[in-house]
Amino acid sequence: MNFKKRFNKLVWDIWELLMKEFNLEDEKWFKDIFENKEAWVPAYFNDFPRCGLMKTTSRSDNTNSFFNTYSETKNFFQNFMMNYEATIKKQCYTERELDHKTKGAKYYWRSPHMIEQHATKVYTSKVFFEIQKEIYKGGWFCEVKDLGEGDGWEIFKVIHKNQKHEVKATYKVELKYDEKGVSCTYGHFNRFGILCRHAFKVLMDKNFNEIPKQYILSRWTNDVISLNYQLSRDRFDEEDEEVTKLVNEVFLNVETTLDIVRHDKQKLAFLAEKTEILLNEVKSNCSCEKPITNSDILEKLYNVTIPEEVEIFVPEVHHNKISRKKRLIGEVEKSIYECSNEEQKMFTIWYKRTTQ
């Protein structure tokens, strides 16, 4: 890894090691930068929660790009509303697809600690793998030393080592056992929304089997989306909210059941048999309603009904000023069309000379 990549990945704890490795201790430019480290933006906002933040311009560009997939500036109002529905349905489908991947994900433990198994139950698969990395490195590359107590907090010094077991940095971790509160001077939770390896190391040494609830952000959990929003529905549909909730619940129950028996042929056949019996029973007791079409949605938008009989027709178009008849062609022009290409060229040259 070259210097540029190492420098771009620079975090507050490895400045001195990086300067020594590349023999840059006496470079004035780097000295001036380090002396003004209080003005660095990450250091200035070190105590401010920044996980999931996005610039206003980036959020605007992202939203515009998201909706421009289905919509154009030339669209009428009804087209925009229908395209908006299609965009939201696409987003709901993407979320359901990611939820399905999380439910079907297979996890392999990298440590014997129960806190890692607890993480699989509450986090999405993508976030879990990040937490698993922190737990693993906390167990193998961190060393804890007890520094006593202060203001009701147990204070620890965590020594962070690299793969060569060389000391990279030291951090102070504070733990309040009764309230299950933990904080680290590294500030990883404020920046990224998950605990760092130093905090996990202290929790594991103190025999915590679960991650404290206050450090599990709902945005990273696998059940953050309510049942009412799992499935999309048309905003113009006047269906009762209670009915929509029941539809979503039934759909999710079937989907969850299918995920459980997906790899068991015998149970899958049993489920298929039962669902077929239930389907036939429902068909015999219910009448199928006509599905909602685009015309029905437009009628609700404009609050009008398409008449059964059309009384006004498009009038016939009459050309009063411009005639559709072909113009008259003279004898000279006719003879030009009837000649071959060479004869036509010679005739054109002769005609131009005689008329000048």
Write the DSSP assignment of 195-255 as a string of letters.
--HHHHHHHHHTT--S--GGGS-GGGBTT-S-GGGSS---TT----HHHHHHHHHHHHHHH
Write the DSSP assignment of 271-301 as a string of letters.
HHHHHHHHHHHHHHH-PPPPPP-HHHHHHHH
38 or 154: whose pLDDT is higher? 154
- Least Cα distance to 198 among 168, 236, 220 occurs for 168
Q: What would the pLDDT profile of 246-261 be if each residue is shown by its tens digit?
A: 877 787 788 778 878 8
What residue type is assigned to position 216 of the chain? I
Q: What would the pLDDT profile of 147-163 be if each residue is shown by its tens digit?
A: 888 888 899 999 998 88
Mean pLDDT of the chain: 77
Return the SS3 of 160.
strand
Name the residue ranges covered by the structural domains of the chain: 1-44, 47-104, 114-220
Whether 46 has a pLDDT exceeding 60, the answer reads no
CB 333 within 8 A of CB 269: no
Length of the chain: 356
CB 28 within 8 A of CB 49: no
Q: What would the pLDDT profile of 170-215 be if each residue is shown by its tens digit?
A: 999 999 988 889 999 888 888 888 999 999 999 999 999 999 999 9
Backbone angles phi, psi at 245, to 5 degrees: -65, -40
Q: What would the pLDDT profile of 266-298 be if each residue is shown by its tens digit?
A: 988 898 898 889 888 888 887 666 666 767 777
pTM: 0.56
DSSP 314: P
